[in-house]
Every structure is written in C-alpha cells, then in structure tokens.
Chain A
C-alpha cells in the first residue's frame, strides 16, 4: 500500500474508532468558533444594519472600512490581540493569553467585519424598499434596525455561515493567542498544522475530514432552512 493510501486508511481508522484526541480537538474547535460566531452575530449583524439604516456623516467611509476589513489578515488580528492580552498589555491582568477565551476574542474580531459587511448589503437593499413606510409609521431608528434584521433573517444566514467558515478555517490568530497547547488550546486548524509538521499525517487528515464535514453539514442545514423559509414566508 502506498504511503498516501496508508495515511488515509489510518485517518479513517481514527475517525471510525472515535479517537479521544480527535474528539477533544473537534469539541474545542466548535466551542471556540461557535462562541466567536455567536458574539459576531450579536455585534456584527446589528452593526451592519445600523450602517445600512443610519444617516450620519462618514457613513460611506465606514462602509468602505467595514468592507475592507473583511479581508483582514488573521495573523495581524492575532498580533494585536496578543499585545492587548499579554502581561504588559492593557488587559494583561485578566490572564487570558493562551486560553480558549483569547481565541474566541481573536476570532470574534475577525468575523465581525465580514458579518457586518454582508448584513449591511442585505439590509440596505430591503431598507430602500421599506424606508418610506417605516418612516410614516414613525419607527425609530432602532425599531427600523430590529424590524429589518427580522425581515432579512433568512438571508442573513449567509452572513452567519460566512462568519463560521472564516472562524473555523483560520489558523494564524488562534495560533498566536492560543499557543496550540495540548488539551487546552489546540483546535482543528492549529492541530492540523502542528501534526503535519510532526509527520503525523493521519491525525491531520482525520481532523481535516471532520472540518470539511462540519462545514458542509452546516451549509446543507442552512440551505434547507432557507429553502423552507422561502416557501413558508416568500
């Protein structure tokens, strides 16, 4: 058997036997990325909707800035969060560096611009159609934001999925602020990079397969949910 086939065979053996190491890494990845996407949703979606609905000086500049930050390099975010959380940094006293929470913070900062930019675009299109009627009903700015977020909820799944994809697949930021400590801060992407460098390709491939399956499953779920919602609500 070739080395390539043997590696895949070993990887699937790890998955078939529910290897404890794989399970631990996957669970931590889901916790970290899930937490980041949850925070990103709570901040990024209202932020994007506020930019879409608001009329304020510098709105165009802010829109361009948010769009630009979609491609923010994850290592840059990692370095900034590292500086903020390191002992000599402003938040060093909390002792968060090399903890899962630090990784959540870094990933949250990465997904917020992405989710906000997509939300702004989606909500702005709908706002153009609804603005006059909501204005006549004397909706406050915040009432308009919440109404539009509710109305766009199915389309905004795309923003949440994009955030999740970005969070789960990024490696630079979590490696810097998490430190890939075994059984503490090692997530799928950092483990794949580490195990590959160590030559344990079977574990790296097993984790890669799990990563792809999770992302595909979530996308399929979102697709079905959106399809159902379009039939139910039009």
Chain B
C-alpha cells in the first residue's frame, strides 16, 4: 500500500490544556528531504512523534496514500536525537530492526554487515555500540533505521551536538537514504544544514506551520514574518515581547 501523499489536516495536540500542536496543515509528497525549522517549543519534535504514531493527537486527521488510510501499515521509522544503544556490539545493534521480521541470525548478520559498510562502520562491527563517538552512534542509528527499508524516515535533530565533520558524514548518509527512495522529514536548528540538505522547508512557530516552501524560496523570500526573523537570528519570543 502506498503511504504517500501524506495529508495532515488541522492536527492538534494539547496535553494538560497547553497547545503544543495548534492545527497543523501539511502535505508530503513521495520524494525528497523536508527540513522542519523553527524555534524551541514550536512543536517540531512533537509533530514527528505524532506522525509516526507515538503520540495520539487530540484532533485533526492524517491521511496516508491515495486511499487515505488513518495509519500506515508499515514503513515509517524515526531516529532520535539520543538513539537507543544496546549493551552489545555494533553489528547486533544495527541488525536489531530485522529481529521482528523473522530472518535467520545469519541473514541478519549478512544484511547488518552490508549496511555497516555503507555507513562506514564495518571496521567497528564487533566493538561495543556504547563506546562509539556521538557521530558514530548517529550513523549506527541511521543504519538501523535504513536497514528496515522505511518509506518515510523521521529524523529528530540527528546532528545536534556533533562537530562539523561528524555532521557532514551524517548528512552524506541522509542523502544516500533519500537516493535509495526513502522520504525524509527532519528537524534541525542548523540553517546551513538546511541549505545543504533540504529540498523544501517547513517552518513552524507556536504549534503551527507558518510556511512550507522550496528551500531556495524560503531563504530568498520567506513568506512569514516569523520565518524572516528566525533566519535573521531573531527569536520569536522577542517578537512577541515587542508585541509584533
């Protein structure tokens, strides 16, 4: 079953009455890398968690594919800012996602090693995953998600707190994942990364999507005042403080 286009309409999430998602409208096509930008507290990570089903929205709808299924049968995966690392070798961690598929241990090992080769961790296969650097752990988490062949991959600030070299390596893998046919929706605060990686930008503020435009248009002519201030390094709280 096709899961695209994904149509999100008036999605709301209000834990304890606090409006975290205040009516999200968004449509995602079949290809590309979409980066979600916005200030802290805009609801970016919550949006990702809601899309992959970890959070049940209070209102609104998500329609997957032309048939408009309420939930995708499969094919949605998420990589977190601090991914889970089992106390086990790298190879075992990367092949973890294959466990529910009922593959033999030998097949999981074969596929795991091939994937580690692609992300440049083959020589660390037998090392403990917890002893990898932050950048290597993110590559491992990406590899684990990629190995399950997701149709949509959600990334929650995968390069936060990584140095430029490690970030560059993560970005290379994300591009490869996109080339491999996976749709990517990624949260970041790094504007430089957005220009390097994104096909289009979703800009969020105060639980709403302010704009969703191609990356060049976003940086050349931001449509919303919030986005313009964000690009210039002005924080929305300041805007609100001045009553703008």
Contacts and interface: CB of A to CB of B under 8 A. Distances in A.
A143 B99 contact: yes
B86 A151 contact: yes
Contacts of A232: 128
B52 to A, nearest CB: 6
Contact of B88 (A135, A137, A233): A233
A138 B131 contact: no
Interface stretch (B10-18, B59-67, B72-80, B164-172): B72-80
B99 A147 contact: yes
Interface in A108-166: 129-130, 132-140, 143, 147, 150-151, 153-154
B83 A133 contact: yes
A234 B130 contact: yes
Contacts of B128: 232-234
Contacts of B100: 137-140, 143
B96 interface: yes
B238 to A, nearest CB: 33
Nearest to A129: B84
Nearest to A146: B99
A139 B80 contact: no
Interface string A221-233: 0000000010011
Nearest to B92: A150
Contacts of A134: 84
Given A140-B100, A232-B128, A233-B128, A135 B84 contact: no
A151 B87 contact: yes
A232 B129 CA distance: 10
B50 interface: no
A52 B148 CA distance: 27
Interface in A68-122: none
A150 B87 CA distance: 8
Nearest to A230: B87
B87 A233 contact: yes
A133 B76 CA distance: 12
B22 to A, nearest CB: 23
B198 to A, nearest CB: 23
A147 B78 contact: no
Nearest to B150: A136
Nearest to A155: B87
A133 B148 CA distance: 13
24 contacts: A132-B54, A135-B54, A136-B54, A137-B77, A137-B96, A137-B99, A137-B100, A137-B148, A138-B100, A139-B100, A143-B100, A147-B96, A147-B99, A150-B86, A150-B88, A151-B86, A151-B87, A154-B87, A233-B88, A233-B128, A233-B131, A234-B87, A234-B128, A234-B131
Interface of A: 129-130, 132-140, 143, 147, 150-151, 153-154, 229, 232-234
Interface of B: 49, 52, 54, 74, 76-78, 80, 83-88, 96-97, 99-100, 128-131, 148
Given A136-B76, A233-B130, A234-B87, 13 more contacts: A129-B84, A137-B96, A139-B100, A140-B100, A143-B99, A147-B86, A151-B86, A151-B87, A153-B87, A229-B87, A232-B128, A233-B128, A234-B131
